Each structure stands twice: as structure tokens, then as C-alpha cells.
Amino acid sequence: MFNRAGCVSFNVQRYLRDCRSLIDNALDHYLKKNSRNGSILHQAICYSVLDGGKRFRPILALATGELFGAKRRSLLPFACAIELIHCYSLIHDDLPAMDNDDLRRGKLSCHKRFGEAIALLAGDALLTEAFFIMSDPKAARLLGVPVISKLIREVSDAASIRGMIGGQCTELELDKRKVTPQVLENLDRLKTGALITLAARVGAIIGRASSKDLARVTRYGRALGLAFQITDDILDSHEVLSDKNGSKAIVNYLSVVEPAKARERVNHLLNECLRAMRPYGTAAEPLRDLARYVAQRTSDDAGEPLSGTGNSDRAERLNAVANARQA
């Protein structure tokens, strides 16, 4: 970690890789110590959480927490709880009553693999498990009850009708004839942005950030969350095209904004993230890098690790999916 001049040089790729592996191990630990190991529900939960996913939100929680000096052992339960809530939302989002997707993270979606009833329950169980982990007395001993209570309230709010679920419902009710970029941005700030802003805020709260710092982190998280969804829409633009040909009905940012304008908007949001982090100098390099990663994604790498370590068995899994779909 030392460069030739004897100064500490920061390797952000290594940092992100370390965070990711820490999170993977912690998720494994939380899910596998469950007393219902081996049940079909437990299999569906592990299938949906443990194999794949970029872990973007928990990495963000760790990176923000560490900016303010929080210890990893205090951050991990909350980082993992946010990932479990994210996984639950993906399972439910894929159900036939919602987006009706056969694939998730490069393999069959949970309901395609385990059936709708189990997928519904796996999502419910993950949401509940998140609160079980956050309310562990060990976490309360580390952080104190008032901080735990504040964190649980933040998490509940972000996942609630005022946050992610509210955004999802607004999307379901969209009148396609009245969609404007502003309508979509407001919706995206809830559906996707709420959990991403939450991850950043949770890290800062655990690091006992001042209210001024928390406001900066919130600005960063809000810009990042919106940039994340617009980039996702850019990467999904083929689905908008297929809609015009009469297949899957999908309304996203690219339905109402030209691709170049959407890219411009993402760059603007990236600059907002970078501006919010300016007061922290090099200490905020992981957070800057996460923002650059979001803004500069050029391929749909859903299911691939954030730090580019690669999934060696991805091609094999895609083959299995193709076979399963033919069967």
C-alpha cells in the first residue's frame, strides 16, 4: 500500500474487493446459522442472496461508515440487512404479478426455480430477517440503543410506502401518456434511490457523522441513487425498443429522454456526488469511485461483482438457464 515516495497509496479496486468479500462472508454467516437450514424456503433464500449480485448497497454503507471512522463490525449487520431487503425486493419484483421476469442475476428468478408461493415467502422472510439482524443485542451493545433505534427507523422508512414500496406502487399506477422525465425521476428517487441513500446515511450515522456531514452524505446518496436508476435504464434501453415493437410493456427514462440527454443527466449527477465529497479529500476516494462506477457502467453487469473479480461459472450458469428455458 506504500508508493515509492513512502506515502500511502490507496488501491480502490482492492478496497472494493475486500468489502465485497467481507459482505459475502457475513451474509453467508447470517443465513447459514438459521435453524431452518435445508428447508425449501431456506434453499430459496440462499439461492437468491448468496450467489451473485454486485453488493453495491452494502459496499456503499461500509465505505460511508469508514469515511467517518466506523468499525466494520458495527457496520456489517446494517450493511447486510440492507442487502437482504434489496434481495427481497428483487424476488418480489420478478413475480408474475409485478415484472414477471424469468431471470435474475444470470440465473432463473426465484419463482421460476422454486415456485411463486415459496418466492413470495422467501421475500417476506428476507425482509423480516433484516430486522432480526439489526435488532441483535450485540449490535445494541456496540452502538447503543438510541443509535439502533434511529437506524431501524431509517431502514423502515426507506423500505416503506414513503420509500421503495411507494415508488414501486407509483410505477405500477403510471399513466403512460403522462410520463415526463420529472415524473420518472421522482419515482426513481423512491423505488431505487431510497435504499441507496439509506445505505450511505446508515454508514454515516454509525460513524456518528455530524448533521452537516450527514446532509452532505444524503446529497451524495440522492444523486447516486438517481444516477444508478438512469444508468440502469440506459442499459435496459433494448427493452424500450422491444416495447415499441409490441412486446414487453416498459416505461423508463429512455422512453421519454434521448440517450445522449440521459447520459448528460447522469454526468450531472456524478458531478453532484463528487462535489458533495469534496470536503473529505482523499479519504472519500472509495465513495468517489463508487459514483464513477455507477455513472460509467457501459454494460449490463447485473449479477457480476462490483470490483471486477468476475464469476468464473457465469457462462456455465447462463447455459443452465438456456437449457432450463428450453425444457
Binding window for ligand GRG (CB under 6 A); candidates: 51-59, 202-210, 264-272, 290-298: 51-59
Give 67 or 90: the residue with its C-beta nearer to ligand GRG: 90
The H or E element that residue 27 is part of is: helix 12-32
d(CA 288, CA 67): 12
Strand partners of residue 103: 108
Of the CA atoms within 13 Å of residue 160, those in its CB half-sphere come to: 8
**Residue 99 or 213 having the CB closest to ligand GRG:** 99
Which one, of 290, 140, 272, 139, lies nearest residue 200 by Cα?
A: 290
Q: What is the DSSP letter of 136?
A: -
The one among 192, 197, 252, 307 contacting ligand GRG by CB under 6 A:
192
Question: Residue 191, interface with ligand GRG (CB under 6 A)?
Answer: yes
Whole-angstrom distance, CA of residue 124 vs CA of residue 134: 16
Q: How many CB atoms lie within 10 A of CB 310?
A: 10
Contact of 116 with 97, CB cutoff 8 Å = no
- Residue 226 is a binding residue for ligand GRG (CB under 6 A): no
- Please answer whether residues 177 and 145 qualify as being in contact, where contact means their C-beta atoms are separated by less than 8 angstroms: no
Which part of the chain contacts ligand GRG (CB under 6 A), choosing from 49-57, 71-79, 138-146, 284-292? 49-57
Query: If binding is defined by CB under 6 A, does position 168 make contact with ligand GRG?
Result: yes
Nearest to 151 by CA among 140, 160, 162: 140
Q: Which is nearer to ligand GRG, 74 or 89 (CB)?
A: 89
- Contact between 276 and ligand GRG by CB under 6 A: the answer reads no
Report the candidate in 111, 134, 107 with the shortest Cα–Cα distance to residue 50: 107
Contact status: 54 vs ligand GRG (CB under 6 A): yes
Binding of ligand GRG at residue 111 (CB under 6 A)?
no
Beta bridge partners of residue 107, listed in sequence order = 104
Q: Which of 18, 28, 51, 93 binds ligand GRG (CB under 6 A)?
A: 93
Does 231 help bind ligand GRG (rule: CB under 6 A)? no
Binding region for ligand GRG (CB under 6 A) out of 64-72, 92-100, 273-281, 308-316: 92-100
Q: Is residue 165 a contact residue for ligand GRG (CB under 6 A)?
A: yes
Q: Is 303 in the site for ligand GRG (CB under 6 A)?
A: yes
Task: Produce one character per residue of 209-220: b if its CB has 16 or more CB atoms within 10 Å, e if not.
Answer: beeebbebbbbb
Interaction of residue 152 with ligand GRG, rule CB under 6 A: no
154 in contact with ligand GRG (CB under 6 A): no
What type of residue sits at position 83?
E
Question: Of 89 and 109, which CB lies nearer to ligand GRG in the complex structure?
Answer: 89
* Site stretch for ligand GRG (CB under 6 A), options 6-14, 83-91, 148-156, 244-252: 83-91
Q: Which residues contact 299 (CB under 8 A, 6 or more apart)?
A: 235
Question: In angstroms, what CA-CA distances link 231 with 35, 167, 207, 254, 275?
Answer: 40, 18, 29, 10, 20
Choices 15-23, 160-168, 258-266, 307-315; region in contact with ligand GRG by CB under 6 A: 160-168
If the CB atoms of residues 203 and 303 are measured against ligand GRG, the closer one turns out to be 303
- For ligand GRG, the binding residues (CB under 6 A) are 53-54, 56, 86, 89-90, 92-93, 98, 105, 164-165, 168, 191-192, 229, 232, 302-303
